[in-house]
């Protein structure tokens, strides 16, 4: 049976969603391998940013697809040119994630044979700076690179995109054993002493998906795991006395069907993000309590007005 990679384009968000019109803009690329994980990311070519598709396959490769705008089509290009960390893969990549700045890119790969591979690449030269590798028992179903804080810092009474806490962590979801988080991977790599367990993550069949999001709006990211055992698990990082921290099971919720994917976005369009939970039987949309959201917004606006000079605030609002 033939396998295809279908790319739908030429759809304008302002227009009414018509499935027939969307189907007319479909480009089908025949694949010679069984596809697994599909994602997209940015590369820089001759100083210009470009969005590309990345698709892992059972041939132990990650395939890269670029857009040819002159011909209005897509084509496969050699992935190791822009992603040297993709060379010498010995197993099927089940999940990949990226964390990029203007100076470097961190790539995390979760493999079928239980290996987790993390690479640091200098940008824009795309030279491999460092790489770490560790083996787990069982396939790695999901990996997520993240930081603890979601807040922008303030410098001289003005917002800055630079976060005070720049440590990067890695969440590793396992299909068989307990899932873990590796803390501060740029400093410690994948050392076991910096591996934090996620309690009860192996009790509900296999972990299928993960998500990093600040779902309680406290400025700190939570780790969410979706399981085939129909359970959604939410973890918070808590620091006890002596600066020793650990992940605590903050909340869990059961669904009528196994979970497949998680996302956190403003799908309704009211300015507040919703938690989207995709199961084998459909999509669940979990909304925040709007009364609590209002109270949080009012309290934070009061803080902004008290702590930021009026001229700085006007300048920030003009820029954004």
CA dihedral 246, 250, 256, 262 (to 10 degrees): -70
Who contacts 272 (Cβ-Cβ below 8 Å, separation ≥6)?
A: 266, 287, 288, 290, 293
Please name the residue that has the structure tokens 């922008």.
Answer: 152
Q: Do 188 and 181 form a contact (C-beta atoms < 8 A)?
A: no
Q: What pLDDT score does 13 carry?
A: 60
pLDDT digits (tens, 9 = 90+) for 111-163: 999 999 999 999 988 999 999 999 999 999 999 999 998 765 555 445 555 45
3-class secondary-structure state, position 65: strand
Helices H, strands E: what count in the chain? 5, 23
What are the domain boundaries of the chain? Answer: 198-288, 290-319
List, for the chain, all residue ranges whose pLDDT scores fall below the cut of 70. Answer: 10-19, 151-165, 319-320
Q: Is the pTM of this model over 0.85?
A: yes
Which segments of 89-188 does DSSP mark as H helices, in order?
185-188
pLDDT at 19: 67
- The pLDDT assigned to 145 comes to 98
- Phi, psi (rounded to 5 degrees) for 55: -135, 120
Please tell me the predicted confidence (pLDDT) of residue 52.
96
Phi and psi (nearest 5°) for 62?
A: -115, 115
- pLDDT at site 162: 47
- Length of the chain measured in residues: 320
**DSSP track, 181-211:** EE--HHHHTT-GGGEEE-TTTTSSS-EEEEE
Q: Which of 186, 288, 291, 199 is nearest to 238 (CA)?
A: 199
């Amino acid at each position: 049976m033939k396998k295809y990679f279908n790319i739908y384009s030429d759809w304008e968000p302002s227009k009414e969603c018509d499935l027939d019109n969307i189907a007319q803009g479909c480009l089908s690329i025949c694949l010679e391998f069984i596809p697994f994980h599909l994602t997209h990311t940015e590369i820089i070519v001759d100083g210009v940013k470009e969005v590309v598709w990345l698709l892992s396959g059972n041939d132990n490769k990650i395939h890269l697809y670029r857009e040819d705008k002159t011909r209005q089509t897509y084509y496969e290009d050699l992935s190791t040119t822009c992603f040297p960390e993709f060379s010498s893969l010995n197993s099927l990549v089940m999940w990949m994630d990226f964390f990029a700045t203007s100076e470097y890119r961190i790539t995390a790969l979760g493999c079928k044979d239980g290996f987790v591979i993390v690479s640091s690449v200098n940008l824009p030269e795309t030279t491999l700076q460092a790489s770490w590798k560790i083996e787990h028992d069982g396939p790695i179903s999901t990996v997520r690179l993240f930081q603890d804080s979601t807040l922008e810092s303030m410098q001289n009474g003005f917002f800055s995109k630079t976060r005070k806490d720049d440590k990067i962590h890695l969440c590793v979801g396992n299909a068989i054993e307990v899932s873990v988080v590796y803390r501060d991977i740029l400093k410690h790599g994948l050392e076991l002493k910096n591996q934090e367990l996620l309690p009860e993550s192996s009790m509900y069949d296999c972990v299928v998906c993960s998500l990093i999001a600040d779902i309680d709006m406290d400025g700190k990211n939570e780790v969410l795991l979706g399981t085939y055992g129909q359970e959604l698990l939410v973890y918070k990082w808590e620091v006890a006395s002596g600066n020793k921290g650990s992940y605590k099971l903050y909340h869990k919720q059961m669904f009528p069907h196994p979970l497949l994917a998680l996302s956190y976005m403003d799908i309704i369009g009211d300015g507040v993000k919703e938690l989207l939970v995709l199961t084998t039987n459909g999509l669940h949309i979990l909304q925040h309590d709007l009364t609590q959201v209002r109270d949080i917004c009012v309290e934070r606006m009061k803080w902004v007005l008290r702590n930021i000079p009026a001229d700085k605030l006007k300048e920030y609002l003009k820029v954004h």
